[in-house]
């Protein structure tokens, strides 16, 4: 079961916006908890090759990482060990991507989202996060 306090915090972030870059880590905690209860998500995480994704909020120089594969997801602040892909954007762009107001392909094509490294891993990362949010939509009354 996904932590109710976490759901409450994420709902508030959706309404008011994230107050600090590290708030993004709450979304990954949600994805991690969803992976423990969703068979579809767990299966997707087992089917992909293990990867590390480095994420950078450029306007505040905040970095965090997400590791996916082997049936699980993990995340943390700072530099990833040997990331296969690095994605960089401003806080406003990340907020728009998280809320669904911005589409990642459009953000990439317009130059608002920079992707360096393995584009296939970037796509797989996006699909996993998207599936988790889709599976967890019931928690947000969607």
> At residue 56, what are phi and psi to the nearest 5 degrees?
-130, 130
How does the average pLDDT of the chain come out, rounded? 90
Question: Residue for token digits 């708030």?
Answer: 23
| 61 and 78 Cβ atoms separated by less than 8 Å | no
Yes or no: is domain 4-140 CATH 2.60.130.10? no
Lowest mean pLDDT among 16-20, 67-71, 103-107, 109-113: 16-20
Lowest mean pLDDT among 20-29, 67-76, 106-115: 20-29
pLDDT in tens, 32-55: 998 888 888 999 999 999 999 999
pLDDT in tens, 121-135: 999 998 998 888 888
What per-residue confidence (pLDDT) applies to 88?
Answer: 97
Q: How confident is the model at residue 78 (pLDDT cuts 50, 70, 90)?
A: very high
pTM above 0.75, yes or no: yes
| 12 and 50 Cβ atoms separated by less than 8 Å | no
Can you tell me the distance from the alpha carbon of 7 to that of 136, in angstroms, rounded to the nearest whole number?
10
For the chain, the structural domain boundaries read: 4-140
């Amino acid at each position: 079961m996904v932590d109710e306090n976490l759901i409450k915090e994420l709902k508030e972030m959706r309404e008011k916006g994230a107050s600090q870059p590290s708030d993004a880590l709450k979304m990954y905690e949600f994805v991690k908890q969803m992976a423990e209860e969703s068979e579809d998500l767990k299966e997707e995480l087992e089917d992909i090759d293990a990867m590390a994704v480095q994420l950078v909020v450029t306007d505040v120089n905040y970095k965090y990482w997400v590791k996916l594969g082997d049936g699980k997801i993990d995340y943390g602040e700072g530099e990833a060990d040997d990331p296969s892909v690095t994605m960089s954007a401003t806080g406003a762009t990340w907020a728009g991507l998280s809320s669904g107001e911005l589409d990642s392909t459009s953000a990439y094509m317009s130059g608002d989202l920079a992707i360096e490294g393995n584009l296939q891993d970037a796509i797989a990362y996006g699909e996993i996060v998207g599936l988790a949010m889709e599976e967890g939509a019931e928690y947000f009354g969607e």
